[in-house]
Amino acid sequence: MQKNNWNFDNTYANLPKHFYTKQNPTSVRSPELVVFNEELAESLGVPYELGVFAGNVIPQGAEPISQAYAGHQFGYFTMLGDGRAIVLGEQVTSSGDRFDIQLKGSGRTPYSRNGDGMAALGPMLREYIISEAMHNLKILTTRSLTVVETGEVVLREMERKGAILTRVASSHIRVGTFEYARLNSIEDVRRLADYTIKRHFPNLAIEKDKYLFLLKEVIKRQASLISQWQLVGFIHGVMNTDNMAISGETIDYGPCAFMDVYNPKTVFSSIDTQGRYSYENQPKIAVWNLARFAETLLPLLHDDENKSISIAQEELDKFQGIYQRYYLSGMRAKLGLFDEDIEDNVLVNELLQLMQQYKADYTNTFRTLTLDITEDSKLFASLHFQYWKDRWRKRHSQQNKSKDEVKALMKNHNPNIIPRNHLVEEALNFAESGDLTKFEKLLFVLRSPYDYTAEQEEYSKFQMPVNCSYQTFCGT
């Protein structure tokens, strides 16, 4: 077996120096490994070195930097940057793929403002669980390589154990990075756009209107990503422009969670008091964020400003149609439909309305339909649902597919399990006290969410919070 080694490149550092600050991680007192993603490490070709993942050792070839960016947070523009994260460099795999290796919680940087640059163990383990769950659900995402305890105390609402997460991403270029570039100069936007095209969209480099095609591709990727979120009931929680990656990966797992009872207005973030980033608003916010991205590109789209605005608006107006095609295609698969019918959208929306009316669990409703069993619930006992189910069965009869083919399609698109909120919290509570048993077991069953094994049964059950609505926090 070939030995894993660091193979760093540092192309982001070729951008103008105000895009980043050279910054080494802060050394920590007594690091201890909590979890190591061996499968991911093998695919990246990186070795296990505790000192590196703790920030105490700089591996050969690395040029650690903290990135500068801006962003609209809850609609308000502000200057930002990596306040507690440092990119060691870009690991280039044997197949030529390039991934940022970032330490999150690795100490103060020039962008920390009033923050301490540290991270607590619980939120870092939460990101590990959710990001790996998203990957196994076949949704584009950053991934987690390690979590290391630092031996330091982090002060939040109480004393917490300090930790560092190693995050792996295709890049950390965000809509907010382009907003930052536009504050400086048009030339900075051009250089960033050229770099982004070379890194993520190399086929666009030869296009005459490559910046327009960049906008088109980013819109397409975000439409695909958000549709996948909606299809599994994932709520990001803080869709600020600095949390939208140009690569189309899900990034920054702070106050995120998966919806249990279907309610389009579901919000998990403790700070989203107005519901800006609710489940139903995610496609709308994606368009809003993409409009901010398009604004940065206006000088590159056409010499005439009015013409540029018209070009950008025409592309933004296409988002809803692109998103709807991805979403409806995914919903057809969840319902076992291989072909298209003009009434499919009505069939989908009526099911969702019934789920909302009867407070049905989102994931388990589709799971029950997939298994073709009768659930003991108000939804499945209702005449409204029986009428809907009869129409759904009739729709199946109109396609030339066997029951086994239908069931296989549904199994491939309806997860048997998701990282249920109560399971995640239980695993984190035990892990923070030093018992990783539940954490490791949860990670194991989340590896294969579409397998429908007996082992997953206990993890598929929905447990309603007893006294309060479930909330998550930014964890900074």
Out of 188, 242, 252, 361, pick the active-site residue: 242
Angstrom distance (rounded) from CA 82 to CA 172: 10
Under 8 Å between Cβ of 392 and 82: no
Angstrom distance (rounded) from CA 439 to CA 435: 8
Burial of 140 (C-beta count, 10 Å sphere; 0-12/13-18/19+): middle
**Distances from the Cα of 249 to the Cα of 3, 134, 228, 255, 446, angstroms:** 29, 10, 11, 17, 19
Which residues in 382-397 are b (16+ Cβ under 10 Å) and which e? eeebeebeeebeebee
Angstrom distance (rounded) from CA 71 to CA 332: 36
Residue 273 tokens, joined: 């008091």
Residue 195 tokens, joined: 């770099």
Helix (H) or strand (E) holding 276: none
Side chain identity at residue 226, one-letter code: I
> CA 81, 239, 181: angle at the middle one, nearest 5?
40
Q: Which of 237, 196, 233, 236 is nearest to 217 (CA)?
A: 196
Q: Which of 142, 339, 329 is nearest to 243 (CA)?
A: 142
Q: Residue 450 CB: number of other CB atoms within 10 A?
A: 16
Q: Is residue 242 among the annotated active site residues? A: yes
Catalytically active residues are 242
